[in-house]
Structure 1
C-alpha cells in the first residue's frame, strides 16, 4: 500500500494579515437596547455572556412596561365610564316575552269586541227589518201571481170592460222587479265566490289576524325599554312531586317522570279511578211504566247513537239548501195561504147569500099563511052571519 500524502501549511514570513476594520466600527443598536454581536463575539465567551444577560434584563423590563401600560389603560377606562359597552336589554327575555304576550292578548280582545258588536247589530234590529221587508215583498209577489192566474182563468169574460193601471202600481211593480233582479245577481255572485274561493276567506281572515298581532307585538317591544330583572325561580308543584315520588316508591322503579320545569311527563298514572266509567242512560217514565206492567222497553242503549247521524245529516241537508230554493218554497206557501183565504171568503159569501134567500122565502111563506088564515076566518064569519 502506498503511504498517505501529508500537506503541510506554508507560512510566509514578513507578511501580515489585513486588519479587520469592521471590528472597530460601532455596531448598530438592536431593538432591545443591546449591541448586536457578530460572529467573533459569538465565539468569544465573555462577550456572549454579557449580551445574553443584557437581553434577559431588557426583556423583563419590556414585559413590566407592557403590564403597567395595560393596567393604566384599564384603570382609565373604568374611571372614565361606569356603563357597560353592551346593551342590557338583550338579556331581558322574560320582560320582552311578557310585553309581547300582553300585546297579543290586547289585540285579540279588541278583535273579539268588534266581532261581538258587529254580530249584535246584525242579529237584532237590522236582521228583523230585513226579514219583514222580504216577507212583504214575497206576499206582494204572491198576490201578483194569484191575480195573473185569476185573469187567465177568467179568459174573455171582461174583454170589453175598460181597465186602467195607476202610476203607483206601476212604480211598485218596477221596484219589485228591480229588487228581484238584484237578489238573483247577488245569489249568482255568492254561488260563484263559494265555488271558486272555497276556504280562501277563512284563511285570509286568519292571516290578517296573525299579521295584526305580529305588528302589535313589534310595536310594543320597540316603544319600551327593557332592563333585565332577577331570574324567576322555578316552582315545582309539591303535590304532584309527592304523588310521583309515592308512585315510584310503591312500584320500585321510576314510573312517573318529572321534567326540568316540574311537569309530569306521563300523568296518566296520577288519574284517580272511576273517571272512565260510562254513564247510564236515563229511561223515561213511560218506559218505566211499561217495564212495570211487563212490557219491553223500545229504547235500547244503542238507539241514541243510531239516531245521532240521522239528525246530523238532516240538519246538514236543511242548512245546505240554497237560499233561492227556500225563498221559492216560502213564496209557494204564501200563495197557498192566500188561495185558501180567498176560498174561505167565497164560501162565506155564498153561505150568507143562501141564508138570506132562505130567510126571505120563509118570511114570504109565513105572510101567505097568515093572509090565507085571515081570509078563511072572514069567510067563516060571513057564513055564520
Structure 2
C-alpha cells in the first residue's frame, strides 16, 4: 500500500474533511517554502513530458492537466501545487466581498462513491485580498499558469450581481492567466439562474469589457463554468452564446445536485444535507456535456473537461471528446500528492500508443471519427 493510502486510511479519513484539507494543504505550502526542497519535490512529482506540451488560451503549457477551482480558494499555495505536477491552478472561487461561507460542517466524503459533497458557499478572503496576494507573488517563470475563478457575493442582490463580478474582474484580471465566470455552483442561492442565456449575455459582456479596461496591454482569456445539470438545449444555448460573444472557453462541468446512481445509502446522503457532488458519480454526465459542447463549437472555443476525472484514462477520454485542458479536484483527495504525476505519465502513454503526433491532434478525435 502506498504511503498516502496508509495516511488516508489511518488518519485523514477519520477527521473532518475540511480539517483534513486544511492540514494537507498546509503541508504542501510548508514544503514549498523550504529552501531547495521545492525543486527536489518537483523533480520527483513533476518530471517533464515534452510530448504533452500544448497551447491553450494563448498560453504555452507543459501539459494539459490542472487543479480545478475550490482547492486553493485564496491563492495561498499556487507554487506548492505546481511542484506536485499541476500545469495550471485555478484559484477561487473569489467573490467581490470577503465571506465566511456556509456554516460547518459543509464538506463530506462519500468514500464508497469516491466522491465529495460540499456546500462551502464560496468561503474566501474577497477579491481585494486575493488580488493583493497574487500581486505579491507576481508571475514567475516556471510556475503553473494561474486561472482566477470569480463568483457572486452571497449578500449582493440579484440586480447588483453584474457589478459584483465587474468589481472582482477589475481587481483580479491583471493577475490572471485566464479568468473564469462561475455561474454554476449550487451553493449560492440564485447563482445558477445566471446560466440562462438572457442573463449570461450581459454578465459576460460586462466582465469582458472590465477585463479589457483593466488590462489594456493584453487580452485576458475569459471562460464560463457551467453545471452538469443543464438541459441539453441550455447547453446548446451557452455554446452558441460563447461563439457569438467570442468567449475564449467553457469549463464543463461544476458539481451536480443530482443524487442518482450513488452507491452510498440514500438516507445517509440525505442526512448530510444540501450541496453539490463531485468525483466519480459525475464522470459520465460531465463527459456527455463536454462532447455536446464540442459538437456545437468544435475548435472555435477552448473546452476544459472537469468532473469525475480520477485517472489517466478519464483524462484521455476528455481529450478525445474535445477538451484541450483537463482539470480535477476530488481525485486529488483520494489519490494524494502523486496524482498529477500518474495522470501525466498515463497521458504520455496514451499519446504514444495513439495515431496522433501531438496532444493537440487528439483533441476532439472521437467527434471527428463519429462525423466521418
Query: Which TM-score applies when normalising by structure 2?
Result: 0.14
Of Structure 1 and Structure 2, the greater helix share is in 1
| Richer in strand (by share) | 2
Q: Which protein is bigger by CA-based radius of gyration?
A: 1
Which structure has more RCO (C-alpha within 8 Å, separation ≥ 6)? 1
TM-score (norm 1): 0.14
